[in-house]
Amino acid sequence: MGLMNRPPNDDLPQTEIEPEVEDTLPAAPALDLGETAPGALKHGIEVIAGFAKHLPNKPGVYRMFDRAGEVLYVGKAKSLKNRVTAYARGMAHTNAVARMIAETANMEFVTTGTETEALLLESNLIKQLRPRYNVLLRDDKSFPYILLTGDHEAPQIAKHRGSRQRKGDYFGPFASVWAVERTIDALQKAFLLRSCTDSFYENRTRPCLLFQIKRCSGPCTGEITIPDYQALASQARDFLSGRSSNVKQLLSARMQEAAEELEFEKAARYRDRLAALSAVQAGQDINTQGVEEADVFAIDEQAGQFCVEIFFFRNKQNWGNRALFPRADRSLTPAEVLASVVTQFYDDKPPPRLVLLSHPVEEIELIAEALSARAGRKVEVANPKRGERVDLIEHARKNAREALSRKLADNAGQTSLLAALGAAFGLAKPPRRVEVYDNSHIMGTNAVGGMVVAGRDGFMKSHYRTFNISTDTIAGDDFGMMREVLQRRFARLAKEAGVSLPSSPHPEEPAQAAVSKDAPEGDGASATILRDAPDGAPQDKGSDGMGGVAPRDEDDDAFPSRPDLVIVDGGKGQFEAARRIMAELGGGDIPLVAIAKGEDRNAMRETFHMVGREPFKLQPRDPALYFIQRLRDEAHRFAIGTHRARRKKDTMTNPLDEIPGIGPSRKRALLLHFGTVKAIKRAKLDDLMRTPGVNAATAKAVHDHFHEH
């Protein structure tokens, strides 16, 4: 696999390109250029033709760039020369492709050994670079798994996300964390497996609460022998691997034996374990005996938007479903969108043995080869026409249709709320990204700041951020805390953009509250457009030739990284602190609003502070007021939840963990000898030295730690 050299821009040929037969885009009618200038299209064709002249007839991946260096499109080809030559002849089905050709100023190519390798590389680059003209998955969050560890004598059952570095058995994916937690809860009832961490396990001196409520068999303190516990873990592994009938038969037989021997308490425990297993299986929406391991993809299209519903079947059980809403040009067919979603979806996930699709996609055999190469075993990709598999697809298709209908309805409502919000605060256009900030602390301790984000799709939880406020800030200084949070937020925004944000020439003067009408659509009224991009992806620094930024297309619905409206929870003090720091860091043109609590802290009486306006209130029944309260309450919930988690973590910290050289074994030895940390603190050096397993140096370190003053 090698990077092709790019011809210089001044070496663009003006000659005709010889027509190719294989691997070209299908013939299309003459382009309706629409908003695409003919001169720009001609220039783009000339640029592409210059690259086509030097390309080989080999498989590979090509990337198209605009003048600013942003990736427009990533594609793969069986023959790079043939595919790029088709673009050079201006062949396109849609105006979107015509605009892409017109914007192309540069290209890069990577040759691969096979077309399968090209498909795998294409999906990887699309997820990494997120080109504007490709189908993009908006929800690329990893899916949760159940992990039964294999590196400990007493296996732990736990929820897992991310890479599989720890030794053990992974079961999944599950559609949601809720599905994982529900299954783990039932498995704990059925098999009495521990869910605690290894360090917690090593330092127990008596059984924890889970043993008392019959959710754990207590291997940490010898309440069950290790061989017997491993037998329980083996049963759980069999159940999750699809051998549930064998496990249930075993438990049923033991329950009968206990009942016949008049050991009714023991029989009741087996009965409860059987009930827990039945609860896991009864929780499935649909079950199938003909499909043991499969993912079912179904796509629906409404109003130019797409929804892909995925059902996960493992071990003849339905492990949930997930709705994805890819960003795709509305000129694409559902089959084209579905094919792109499938290849991108498995870029970082192991595919199952069977993938069922609701539409017949082109290159289905190539997709199967790519997934097989990624999994290291055979993967079947099929579009069934009859039998039980069709029923599964129809069920998924119905869910996709309903999910897309709900989303369209929600978006319509959310769009109207954003419009009402913009009107209430006198904005030139409805905000696309609203950021709300709040702080939480107790007398200045465990102080955290929270940022919640809302947009057309509602609360964008993947964009939420927390800020651990430094101890340098004076305890209880709410103004200073807000200043620190906003300083870190906008400084990071500038750093991610790779440029300096335009700062107000006079930070002390009021910034404009409304967005300029000449601002680019969608990304605020800044002279610089900021975009979320993965590491290594080109940032958008395009120019309009006048020192500004070339505006985006109106239909570009990528969620901006720069806010169109900032709301802070607080009164005039918080407002002034926020206004000053935003102006200093180039956010002075972003509308800023502070919400002061109403009289007697009553809702519906909030006072709002903005630049250029006297403090004002909204009408009690104004829909915008209800929406603002929801935003404020969500920010408050998020900030106080983060604060409580941090406070709980500090409360749960064992002082012995702070002593260098004290690991799990010595900590366990000290606790077994003295019983509590309080007793260890009061112990004399001689008493510490007499602790089994603790040498003189360790005893002195413990004593000095608690008696250093």
Put simply, whether the predicted model's pTM sits higher than 0.85 gets the answer no
Give the integer Cα–Cα distance in Å for 540 and 562. Answer: 13
Instruction: Please check whether residue 136 lies inside any domain of the structure.
Output: no
Final residue of a domain: which of 282, 302, 327?
A: 282
Contact 483, 490 (CB under 8 A): no
Instruction: Please check whether residue 40 lies inside any domain of the structure.
Output: yes
Instruction: Please check whether residue 177 lies inside any domain of the structure.
Output: yes
Greater pLDDT, 541 or 651 = 651
Greater pLDDT, 478 or 422 = 422
Give the integer Cα–Cα distance in Å for 211 and 209. Answer: 5
Domain that holds residue 676: 655-706
Closest CA to 336 of 301, 378, 386: 301
Same domain assignment for residues 396 and 445: no
Final residue of a domain: which of 649, 671, 688?
A: 649
Contact 352, 294 (CB under 8 A): yes
DSSP per-residue codes, 7-48: PPGGG---SPPPP--SS-PPP-PPP--TTS-HHHHHHHHHHH
Same domain assignment for residues 90 and 168: no
Same domain assignment for residues 624 and 607: yes
Same domain assignment for residues 461 and 593: yes
According to the model, what pLDDT value does residue 367 have?
Answer: 92
Question: What pLDDT band is residue 528 in, cutting at 50, 70 and 90?
Answer: very low
CATH number for the domain spanning 521: value is 3.30.420.340
Same domain assignment for residues 584 and 663: no
**Mean pLDDT, the chain, whole residue set:** 77
Instruction: Please check whether residue 135 lies inside any domain of the structure.
Output: no
Give the integer Cα–Cα distance in Å for 501 and 499. Answer: 6
Same domain assignment for residues 181 and 56: no
CATH number for the domain spanning 379: value is 3.30.420.10
According to the model, what pLDDT value does residue 7 have?
Answer: 40
Contact 454, 436 (CB under 8 A): yes
Give the integer Cα–Cα distance in Å for 548 and 518. Answer: 11
According to the model, what pLDDT value does residue 508 have?
Answer: 35
CATH number for the domain spanning 50: value is 3.40.1440.10
Same domain assignment for residues 359 and 503: no
Instruction: Please check whether residue 420 lies inside any domain of the structure.
Output: no
Instruction: Please check whether residue 299 lies inside any domain of the structure.
Output: yes
Q: Is the pLDDT of residue 246 over 80?
A: no
Final residue of a domain: which of 623, 649, 675?
A: 649
Instruction: Please check whether residue 418 lies inside any domain of the structure.
Output: no
According to the model, what pLDDT value does residue 573 have?
Answer: 83
Total domains in the fold of the chain? 5
**Lowest-pLDDT range of 20-34, 279-293, 388-402, 542-556:** 542-556
Q: Is the pLDDT of residue 278 over 90?
A: no
Question: What pLDDT band is residue 282 in, cutting at 50, 70 and 90?
Answer: low
According to the model, what pLDDT value does residue 72 have?
Answer: 92
How would you label 146-185 residue by residue, b for 16+ Cβ within 10 Å and e otherwise? bbbbeeeebbbbbbbeeeeeeebbebbbbbeeebbebbbe
Instruction: Please check whether residue 595 lies inside any domain of the structure.
Output: yes
Same domain assignment for residues 471 and 616: yes
Q: Is the pLDDT of residue 351 over 60?
A: yes
Residue 523 burial (CB < 10 Å; 0-12/13-18/19+)? buried
Same domain assignment for residues 624 and 686: no
Same domain assignment for residues 642 and 502: yes
Same domain assignment for residues 379 and 431: no
Give the integer Cα–Cα distance in Å for 461 and 453. Answer: 7
Same domain assignment for residues 193 and 304: no
Q: Which two tokens stand for residue 499?
A: 């440029």
Q: Is the pLDDT of residue 606 over 50?
A: yes
